[in-house]
Amino acid sequence: MAEVNPAEVSAILKKQLSGFEAEASLDEVGTVLTVGDGIANVYGLANVQYGELVQFEGGLEGIVLNLEEDNVGVVLLGPYRQVREGSVVKRTQRIASIKVGEGIVGRVVDTLGNPIDGKGAIEGETYEMPLERKAPGVIYREPVTEPLQTGIKSIDAMVPVGRGQRELVIGDRQTGKTTVCIDTILNQKEFYDAGEPVYCIYVAIGQKASTVAGIAKVLEDKGALAYTTIVAANASDPAPMQVYAPFAGAAIGEFFRDTGRPALIVFDDLSKQAVAYREVSLLLRRPPGREAYPGDVFFLHSRLLERAAKIIDNDDIAKEMNDLPDVLKDKVKGGGSLTALPLIETQAGDVSAYIPTNVISITDGQIFLTSDLFNSGVRPAINVGISVSRVGGNAQIKSMKKVAGTLKLDQAQFRELEAFAKFGSDLDPATLSVIEKGKRNVEILKQGQNDPYPVENQIAIIFAGSKNLLRDVPVDKIREFEKDYLEYLDAKHRDTLDTLKSGKLTDEVTDTLTSVAKELSAKYKNKE
Amino acid sequence: MKGTRAAQRYAKAIISLAGEKNVTKEVKQDMDSIIKTIAGSNDLRNLLSSPVVRDGIKKSALKEIFKDANGVTLGAFDILIENGRINNLDAVAKQYLKIYHGTSGMQEAIVTTAVPINTNLEAKIQNKIKELTGAGALLKNVIDESVIGGFILRVGDLQYDASIARNLNNLKREFKDNTYVSKI
């Protein structure tokens, strides 16, 4: 065991005791009638509000979810072994909320905002943000125009995501949904280093604690924890904790959004949250509907995802925003955004199940990941044919838009002709060229795990692909070529890449890219 | 508190009928004796809750036990037996008292202490109740050594907790919520 420094111990004890009050308390109370399955029925608490936190003996908290004539239904947010029939329940006069401040960045917290990473209390000033909050109204919003770079070539090129957008990531188990989102978080390091961080929130719902610990480790190792908060409601936590975890994440995101900064939130995943919500609802004896989900499961997701928004870039209007918590009122700034990447797990590719169709209809587009592609080695396994981004097009930077404009169409054509190629019949040169180009583009869009690409590199390589400059490079050498090509550009033509990054695609730039691609591809041709 | 909702309905009906006939006080005494009798007699409790015993026997037994009861109370027995709610008799009686005390401005207050309170303290507590609720209350002293010291005052839905046990529990919780221990 490590040596314990007595001075340190006293400091910690002092810190813990600093908030301790030994005064008498006057509370409104009720009595537990029944308790079980994570639900307590409480007699009394006549003035309690819907959604209010109540406290049981022993400090356990619960949220009031059913107000009935002579009793209230409370969902319990923790182990309820100490709660017995007849125990006293106190009102806290506090609507379920989470304490958020600058200090929450880099931490792992639970649904109620308590740190669970063992790094001590959240430091600095904190603000009480309600878990359930109305989404900003129309007047306080702006169209999505700014890109949120995911660092994944196929997404940034073909299904671009803008700041303030809600883009669904959907697919079977083991298709790389989490990886796509973690890579997106890693890619925000560029902006963090540039001093304009996109604050990331990763909400883990119903996952193994070891998985969450693994993700925290990856983020820490890659330097991404410096701008990321993890909200974890693990599989071992009670269902209500899992139901409210995304709301806690959204409350954290709103803190950054309403103080004029961009934020990104990943809900991993909402299918598990829906299952947890079904559990809670059934235990509260609410009538089941389709697939036994309660009637308001659509509202559960729509009110959550509606909180993702791009706030108008005008401080005066933003200050008037609806439903602002009082503590935040004098800190409000315009121009912030909250981008949401909800994840949904499908069963055997069935997107017509209840929850997937709901969330598809709520979001501004979806990224489909399929196991066929994943198993055939196309990773990230994004099926671009059925992936769309309904608003992201306006958010793409100009140079990317020009270069990648035809890529989606090219790939669609390629997939149509690919079937013919499998017959091995003689093909005319035009068809053959489409197929060869398509194969190379597929290769270009492959990408390693935890290896996001800066946007200028993406544009450069996609330019080479879509202009068919790689026809001389064998398909299995594309990855190698890509590496050489980007390294060469970075070393010799940094200014060209910088121009691309600023969104311009001048003739000079295209000439440079073309000549470099030709020069390097000639090298690969000779090798054969 | 099984059947509280039904009990409330019946209690409300009984008190309103008693009010019309100006016998609320008499019925209140009946209810007091019903609660006391049921609490004291296991046999009576079993009789009332047994589905095997026929209604006629329950009726005659009750009328025999509470033969001095007011007409309203006796009528209540009849209706409760007829509607198969006689097993809630105890709850109905308790609800009746609650409503009775509520309308007459006298509420019940429970003081939990580690040692019995004396009259001097009682007066002080009465003052506190007046300060909290604006009205006096019938004090009921419950002795529970687990409060250690101080007292817990409960008036209806309000609880004034000035016990040592609460302070110690708070202190314990303060140490238990250790943010320096990783939980993932």
Kindly report each contact of residues A62-65 with a partner whose C-beta sits within 8 Å and lies 24 or more positions away, as own/partner.
Answer: A62/A89, A62/A240, A63/A96, A63/A240, A63/A244, A65/A280, A65/A284
Question: Which chain A residues touch B181 with a CB distance below 8 Å?
Answer: 118
Task: For A41, name the nearest residue in chain B, comparing CA atoms only.
Answer: B1
Nearest-CA neighbor of A365 among A397, A394, A388, A341? A388
Helix (H) or strand (E) holding B91: helix B89-103
Q: For A85, name the nearest residue in chain B, comparing CA atoms only.
A: B1
Q: Choosing among A13, A26, A234, which should be mutated to test the B contact, i.e. which has the most B CBs within 10 A? A: A26
B4, A17: Cβ pair inside 8 Å? no
Give the whole-angstrom CA distance, residue A303 versus residue A247.
10
Mean pLDDT, rounded, of chain A: 92
Q: Which residue has the tokens 């939980």?
A: B183
Asked whether the beta carbons of A371 and A175 are under 8 A apart, the reply is yes
- Which residues pair with residue B155 across a beta bridge? B109, B158
pLDDT of residue A424: 66
> Would the pLDDT of A6 be above 80?
no
Alpha-carbon dihedral A493, A496, A497, A502, rounded to 10 degrees: 160
Alpha carbon distance A481, A15 (integer Å): 58
| Mean pLDDT computed over A110-137 | 94
From chain A, pick out residues whose CB is under 8 angstroms from the CB of B182: 116-118
pLDDT at A488: 94
Contact A162, A426 (CB under 8 A): no
CB contact under 8 A, A117 and B160: no
With CB atoms and an 8 Å threshold, state whether B159 touches A28: yes
pLDDT above 90 (res A274) = yes
8 Å CB contact of B157 and A16 = no
Q: Is A70–B8 a contact, with Cβ atoms under 8 angstroms apart?
A: yes
Contacts of A24 in chain B (CB under 8 A): 150, 160-162, 166
Quote the pLDDT of residue A44.
87
In this prediction, residues B121-147 reach a mean pLDDT of 86
Q: Name the minimum distance, in Å, from the CA of A320 to any CA of chain B.
A: 37
A37 touches chain B (CB under 8 A): no
Phi/psi for A148 (5° steps) reads -110, 105
Question: Smallest CA–CA separation between B66 and chain A, in Å?
Answer: 30
Which residues, 6 or more positions from B102, have their beta carbon under 8 angstroms from its beta carbon? none
Known catalytic membership, residue A390: yes
Each residue's pLDDT tens digit, A231-256: 999 999 999 999 999 999 999 999 99
Q: Is A30 near chain B, with CB under 8 Å?
A: yes
Tokens (6 digits) for B170: 């708070």
DSSP A117: B
Contact of A342 with A267, CB cutoff 8 Å: yes
Chain B positions in Cβ-Cβ contact with residue A59 (cut-off 8 Å): 169, 173, 176-177
pLDDT digits (tens, 9 = 90+) for A466-509: 999 999 999 999 999 999 999 999 999 999 999 999 999 999 99
Give me the residues of A, 174-213, that contact B with CB < 8 A.
209, 212-213
What share of chain A has pLDDT > 90, as a percent? Answer: 84
Of B158, B161, B179, the CB nearest to A115: B179
Q: Do A16 and B174 touch (CB under 8 A)?
A: yes
Residue-wise pLDDT for A360-384, tens only, equals 999 999 999 999 999 999 999 999 9
A114 touches chain B (CB under 8 A): yes
- For residues A339 and A165, the answer to whether their CB atoms sit within 8 Å is yes
Task: Select the residue of B160, B176, B179 nearest A26 (Cβ to Cβ).
Answer: B160
Cβ(A407)–Cβ(A157) under 8 Å? Answer: yes
**A33 and chain B: CB distance < 8 Å anywhere?**
yes
pLDDT the model gives residue A19: 62
ipTM: 0.71
User: What does the alpha-carbon distance between residue A227 and residue A273 come to, in Å, rounded to a whole number?
Assistant: 25
pLDDT more than 70, % of chain A: 96
**Sign of the CA dihedral running B49, B51, B55, B58:** negative
How many angstroms separate the CA of residue A275 from the nearest CA in chain B?
Answer: 23
Work out the pLDDT band at A279, boundaries 50, 70, 90: very high
Interface residue A86 vs chain B (CB under 8 A): no
Q: Which residues does chain B have within 8 Å of residue A22's beta carbon, measured at their own beta carbons?
A: 167, 170
Instruction: Determine contact, residues A338/A249, Cβ cutoff 8 Å.
Output: no
Counting Cβ atoms within 10 Å, is residue B64 exposed (0-12), middle (13-18) or buried (19+)? exposed
CB-nearest partner of A209 from B8, B180, B184: B184
Alpha carbon B90 to its chain's center: 10
In terms of DSSP H, where are the helices of A262-383? 270-283, 297-305, 315-319, 354-362, 371-375
Q: Per-residue pLDDT for A3 more than 90?
A: no
Largest distance between two CA atoms of chain B: 68
- Rounded to whole angstroms, the Cα distance separating A395 from A397 reads 6
> Among A112-126, A308-322, B122-136, where is mean pLDDT lowest?
B122-136
Name, in order, each residue with C-beta under 8 angstroms of A127's C-beta and a sequence gap of 6 or more: A99, A100, A101, A255, A325, A327, A328, A331
Partnered with residue A72 across adjacent β-strands are A42, A67
Cα-Cα-Cα-Cα torsion A447, A448, A451, A455, nearest 10 degrees, comes to 0
Three-state DSSP at A382 gives strand
* Whether the Cβ atoms of residue A384 and residue A159 lie closer than 8 Å to each other: yes
Backbone angles phi, psi at A370, to 5 degrees: -120, 145
Instruction: List CB contacts (< 8 A) between A28 and chain B.
Output: 157-159
Residue B127, pLDDT score: 87
Q: What is the DSSP string of A383-421?
A: -TTT-EESSGGGGS-HHHHHHHTTHHHHHHHHHHHHHHH
| Cα(A347)–Cα(A368) distance, integer angstroms | 13
Contacts of A117 in chain B (CB under 8 A): 182-184
Listed by number, the residues of chain B in 39-98 with a beta carbon closer than 8 Å to a beta carbon of chain A are none
Assess whether pLDDT exceeds 70 at residue A527: no
Of B159, B176, B180, the CB nearest to A120: B180
Instruction: Please check whether residue B134 touches A, CB under 8 A.
Output: no
Q: Which of A174-188, A283-297, B143-157 has the lowest mean pLDDT?
A: B143-157
Contacts of B159 in chain A (CB under 8 A): 26-29, 88, 90
What is the average pLDDT across B102-124? 85
DSSP state of A115: B
Alpha carbon B148 to its chain centroid, in Å, reads 25
Q: Are A430 and A182 in contact (CB under 8 A)?
A: no
- Interface size A-B, in CB pairs within 8 Å, comes to 87
Nearest-by-CA chain A residue for B151: A24
Determine whether the interchain pair B162/A24 forms a contact, defined as Cβ–Cβ distance below 8 Å.
Answer: yes
Q: Which of A386, A387, A261 is nearest to A313 (CA)?
A: A261
Tokens of A398: 């100009």
Residue A1 has pLDDT above 50, yes or no: no
CA separation for the pair B43, B61 (Å, rounded): 11
Q: Is the peptide bond before A269 cis (omega within 30 degrees of 0)?
A: yes
pLDDT band at residue A322, thresholds of 50, 70 and 90? very high
Q: What are phi and psi of A35, to 5 degrees?
A: -145, 140
* CB of B132 less than 8 A from some CB of A: yes
Catalytic residue among A390, A471, A479, A494: A390
Question: Which of the given ranges, A292-296, B37-41, B52-56, B164-168, has the highest pLDDT on average?
Answer: A292-296
- Are residues B158 and A118, on separate chains, in Cβ contact within 8 Å? no
Question: Which residues from chain A sit within 8 angstroms of residue B131, using beta carbons?
Answer: none
Quick check: pTM over 0.90?
A: no
Q: In this complex, which of B150, B181, B184 lies closest to A108 when CB atoms are compared?
A: B184
- Please say whether the beta carbons of A169 and A366 come within 8 A: yes
Give tens-digit pLDDT for B21-43.
998 888 999 999 999 999 888 88
Q: In this predicted structure, what is the pLDDT of residue B139?
A: 86
Does residue A98 sit in helix, strand or coil?
strand
For A28-70, the pLDDT digits (tens) are 999 999 998 889 999 989 899 999 999 998 889 999 999 988 8
The length of chain A, given as a count of residues:
528
A213–B184 CB contact, under 8 Å: yes
User: Strands A88-95 and A52-56: what pairing?
Assistant: antiparallel
Cα torsion B67, B72, B75, B77: sign: negative
Q: What is the dihedral of CA B66, B72, B78, B79, to 10 degrees?
A: -140
Place of tokens 């299952």: A275
